[in-house]
Chains A and B, each alone.
Chain A
Amino acid sequence: MKQDLYQTVVNHILENQDQFYRLAFSYAKKKDDALDIVQNAICKALAHSGALREPRAVKTWFYRILIHESLAFIQKREKETPADPGDEREFPYVEMSYTDTGDLFEFINALEPDSREIIKLRFFEELSLREIQEVMGLNLNTVKAKLYRGLKHLKQSVGEEWQ
């Protein structure tokens, strides 16, 4: 019985690892850090696979863990990094080498915490509002409000090109 759930988690990880990496990377912006985040998330998920009540919830459940790990990681990294402006250049956005949209990623990361997650889940991971609600543990109206607020901020940051 338990074995079934464990297998569900394992299959889900095997099938979606690339997506997990991309989401982690969108936070960490560094290859090694993104790999660390994904690894931590997998360990957490396997250790707590018993907490997953039903297999169908595995998708939102894993996103919740992954986002938690991503946020915890960047928070820790910020703390450990001395407030030396020179160090800031350790984490430039060069790996993706984006020109115009590169800024958009920056803008999204600069959004207030919940809106940032919701926009990533909605537009990059293409989750439904209901799924996002489960991931974030917020009610539907709050999710919608934060989504629209985030979009409004983005629109302001991007300016004219926003169509």
Chain B
Amino acid sequence: MKVLKEAKRRYDQIPIPDRLHTMVLETLQSTGRPYIPAMEKSFLLKKRPRPARYIAAAAAMFFLLFTTALNTSPVFAQEAGELPVIGGIVRLLTFRSFSQEQDGIGIDVNIPSIEGIAEDTGTSDAVNEEIYRLCSQYAEEAMQRALDYRQAFLDTGGTLEQWEAHHVRIQVDYEIQSQTKQHLSFVVRGTESWSNAYRETRYYTLDAQTGEAITLSDVLGEDYAALVNQSIRTQIAQREESGEIDFWEISEGGFDGISGDTQFYLNDAENPVIVFEPYKIAPGSYGEIEFEIRSEK
């Protein structure tokens, strides 16, 4: 086998012609499809066309505008303080927001922060700190990845114009999933337009009265894991049956019970919805997969 090892070493030394990289890039570009599809688009399109979703999105949009105005106008903030707030005593504001363009890389960051309306407590401070840390860390790392990618692109024969044409974007943003008198659920996402490998999603659910984080065991009781697992297994079987989703087997890395870092939010009906990131339990082409856990009453 020594001979084969030596052969492998030589094989790895087969010289790569300079033209290869240019040819690959040109071939990729000449296919007429966007060479690097814009993530923002698929990101928006991924919203499933359920009416409830549209309302939630519209509400989130309103909230976004609202908070932006709040951040920029002291007068507006003062007046808003007088407005009756639907729900409990907590609300979500854009704590920090910035956009920047550098070397053809766009970055948009909106970092939310939970505020107690009566300016009290401090229960949400830990969550706020975590959100802030996660968002800034993601933005920083994504920027570095984009710069590395740019360098690699230019090194392999790409021109600056071609690079600009890719519209590489980094986005850190949040979205309110649902808000009722009892709770506030929102999601913070980091995405990169050129790759799905580094997307990050974190769901938060808070008690709207106290501002405390709500866990699955708060909602479903101590036996939540068994309950959730059973419900998910039933739903997986149903969806496979109907041909909606082709889940992976356990041996392929498919669903094998929820773990401590399972992500969820509460929907308008106060039911927990478990969310799996793309690739977690099924092929990534299905996107995020959700399971509503209906309590059996």
Indicate the size class of the contact surface on chain A: 35 or more
Any chain A CB within 8 A of the CB of B16? yes
Kindly provide the distance from the CB of B166 to the nearest chain A CB, expressed in whole angstroms: 11
**Is B42 a contact of A4 with CB atoms below 8 Å?**
yes
User: Taking beta carbons and an 8 Å cutoff, which residues of B are in contact with A?
Assistant: 1-4, 6-8, 10-12, 14, 16-17, 19-21, 23-24, 27-28, 31, 33, 35-37, 42, 195-196, 246, 278-279, 283-287
Which of B7, B246, B284 makes the CB contact (< 8 A) with A55? B284
A10's nearest neighbour on chain B, judged by CB, is B28
**Is B28 a contact of A46 with CB atoms below 8 Å?**
yes
Contacts of B28 in A (CB 8 A): 10, 13-14, 42, 46
- Number of A-B contacts defined by CB within 8 Å: 103
Kindly provide the distance from the CB of B31 to the nearest chain A CB, expressed in whole angstroms: 5
Kindly provide the distance from the CB of B76 to the nearest chain A CB, expressed in whole angstroms: 39
What does DSSP make chain A's interface, helix, strand, loop or mixed?
helix
Interface string of A26-49 (1 = CB under 8 A from B): 100001000100110011001100
Contacts of B4 in A (CB 8 A): 104, 123, 154
Which of B2, B33, B287 makes the CB contact (< 8 A) with A1? B287
Which of A22, A31, A162 makes the CB contact (< 8 A) with B3? A162
**Is B27 a contact of A163 with CB atoms below 8 Å?**
no
Contacts of A152 in B (CB 8 A): none
Kindly provide the distance from the CB of B210 to the nearest chain A CB, expressed in whole angstroms: 40
Q: 8 Å CB contacts to B: which residues of A131-155?
A: 154
Contacts of B286 in A (CB 8 A): 1
Kindly provide the distance from the CB of B198 to the nearest chain A CB, expressed in whole angstroms: 12
Contacts of B195 in A (CB 8 A): 7, 11
5 further A-B contacts with Cβ under 8 Å, apart from A4-B285, A21-B20, A104-B3, are A1-B287, A4-B278, A39-B24, A123-B8, A154-B4
Which of A11, A38, A54, A96 makes the CB contact (< 8 A) with B20? A38
**Is B27 a contact of A55 with CB atoms below 8 Å?**
no
In the A-B complex, the 6 residue pairs with the closest CB atoms: A54-B283, A22-B14, A124-B11, A3-B37, A46-B31, A42-B27
